[in-house]
Amino acid sequence: MRTIWVIFNVILWTVLLGSTGIILSIFEWRGKILGKAAHLWSKLILLAAGVKYSVRGLDYLDSKQNYIFAGNHESALDIPLAFAGIKHHVVAISKIEYKWIPIFGWAMQAAKHIFVDRHNHIKALESLKQAALSLKSNPRSILLFPEGTRSRDGKIHKFKKGGLLLAIETQFSVVPMALCGTSDVVVKGARQLNPTPIELRIGKPIDTKGMTYANRDMLTDKVFKEVVWLKSEWEKSK
């Protein structure tokens, strides 16, 4: 029953908040209204799931700065946890397939999310270049899952460099973060949710000032190690 209740709430709040945000975005083109709607939507979904969440490390962040938030990805709850826990105006790098989903995709477009064709490497790189230009004209923080896909075993897998190039292009600092416990709530193969506490652990921002394309491997490796460390610290605390 809990799973059905969560699905109902996802549909309900997506329609209500998405439609309202799309209409209001006519008067506010930067997407900040829909950013606040996404923050509220995420909190409502976690509430419907009966999941308590906590956030550590917010004091590392400057409310006046924009960041590239990069974390692990192991569950469908990662997105609501990230949007609920981060107080900045955040948009995601998403699959291009989401772009035209009624209301959901339209709201993402109005909120200025970034869409990438992951099946076409050339188009994906071009999308990231356009995203860098967009971030300069309309600054906002980015949510990125550098693994590229959801982990099926709960382990953090090798990070891809593509999305993190945005940090070098924009010179935005990268914030490593660990999304902890979400795979324990949505257990693979289980029909019911297991509403155990989850946590978002935010690390110290990694400065990219002066970095160039040649530093992409070093940056990717550093972010990966920080995320792994943050997750391991959470596991020790359990």
Nearest-angstrom CA–CA distance, 127 and 63: 27
* E strand or H helix at 115: strand 114-116
Q: Using CA atoms, how far apart are residues 145 and 76, in angstroms rounded to an integer?
A: 12
pLDDT at 224: 97
CB atoms within 10 A of CB 4: 9
Structure tokens at 4: 């059905």
Instruction: Supply the pLDDT for residue 148.
Output: 83
DSSP code for 206:
B
Strand ordering across the sheet containing 198-202 = 53-56, 198-202, 173-180, 67-71, 141-144, 90-95, 114-116
Scanning 25-73, the segments in alpha helix (DSSP H) are 32-48
Residue 218, pLDDT score: 96
Count of residues for the chain? Answer: 238
198-202 and 173-180: which strand pairing? antiparallel
Q: What pLDDT does residue 38 have?
A: 95
Q: Kindly report, residue by residue over 17-33, the tens digit of the pLDDT.
A: 999 999 998 888 888 99
- Identify the structural domains of the chain with CATH numbers, from first to last: 2-237 (3.40.1130.10)
Q: Of 147, 87, 139, 142, whose CA–CA distance to 113 is shortest?
A: 142
Q: What is the pTM of this model?
A: 0.92
Instruction: Give pLDDT, residue 137.
Output: 83
Task: Give yes or no for a contact between 182 and 195, defined as CB atoms under 8 angstroms apart.
Answer: no
Question: Which residues on adjacent β-strands are paired with residue 219?
Answer: none
Closest by CA to 179, choosing from 57, 67, 44, is 57
Residue 189: predicted pLDDT: 64
**Cβ atoms of 82 and 69 closer than 8 Å:** yes
Burial string for 68-79 (b: 16+ CB within 10 Å, else e) reads bbbbbbbbebbb
What ranges make up the beta strands (E) of the chain? 53-56, 67-71, 90-95, 114-116, 141-144, 173-180, 198-202
Instruction: State which residues of the chain have pLDDT below 50.
Output: none
